[in-house]
Amino acid sequence: MSDRPGLRERKKAKTRALIQKEALRLFREQGYAATTVEQIAEAAEVAPSTVFRYFATKEDLVIVDQFPPFVEALDQVPPEVPPIRAVRMAMRAMIEAQTPQERADSLDREVLMLTVPELWAASIDNVTGVATTLRERLAAREGRPADDPGIRNVTGAIMGVMVGVWTDWVNNRDLDAPAHLDAALAHLEAGLPLPRP
C-alpha cells in the first residue's frame, strides 16, 4: 500500500504552499504591515476565506514549524554519538534535504520574524517549543531526565549558537548560514576555545 497522499491532500498542500509563497513575495516587496490578506488571496487566486482556512492568522503565514524534519534527522543519528555532534549531523542532513527555494523561503521567514515586532512576539512560543523538544530529545538520547542540569546547559548552549548564527544570517544575506552553523556548533563541541591573536 502506498503512503503517497491522495489527490485531495496533494491539492490542499499545493494551495497552502502557493498562498504562503505569494505572501512571502508580497511581504518582501511591499512590507509585512502594508500587505493585506486580501492582496495575498488575490495573488494566490483564492478567496480571503481560503487563506484563513489554511492560516488562522496573518502571522501564521510566516511562522512555520520547521522542527519536525530536524527531529526526524536527529532520531536517525546513532545513539552513541554525543549530543552536540548529533545535532550537527542532524542539521546537515536536514539542510541537505532542502531545495534552494526552500532555503531561500526559510531566510525570508527568518528575516521577517527578526525584523517585524509582532512576528518576533508571535514566534516566541515556537522558539521555546523548539528548546523544550530539543531538551527532551537530547535527554532521551543520553538516558537522563529532561530536568537534568547538564542537559539544560547543553540545550541552552546549542540554542544560543543557533540564534547567534540566525541573527548574523538575517543581517548578512550572503552568509553561508549552513556552513557557519556547522562551524559554530563545532566550536561549541570543542569547548568554545578562544585562542589569543
* Residue carrying the nine cell digits 527555494: 101
Three-class DSSP category at 154: helix
On whether both 127 and 178 belong to a single domain, the answer is yes
Q: Rounded distance, CA 107 to CA 90, Å? A: 19
Number of domains in the chain: 2
Dihedral-angle region of residue 161 (phi above 0 means left; psi in -120 to 50 means alpha; beta otherwise) = alpha
Nearest partner of 28 among 57, 61, 53, judged by Cα: 61
For residues 78 and 46, membership in a common domain is answered with no
The residues, ordered by sequence, that sit 6+ positions from 157 with a Cβ below 8 Å of its Cβ are 84, 188
Report pLDDT digits (tens) over 8-47: 888 888 898 899 889 988 998 998 999 999 999 999 999 9
Q: CATH number for the domain including 12?
A: 1.10.10.60
- Spell out the per-residue pLDDT of the chain, length 197, in tens: 445 667 888 888 889 889 988 998 899 899 899 999 999 999 999 999 999 999 988 988 888 766 778 889 999 999 999 999 999 999 999 888 888 888 778 778 888 888 888 888 888 888 888 899 999 999 999 999 999 999 999 999 999 999 899 889 878 878 888 899 999 999 999 999 998 88
Looking at the structure, do residues 22 and 49 belong to the same domain, yes or no? Answer: yes
Domain extent for 66: 62-189
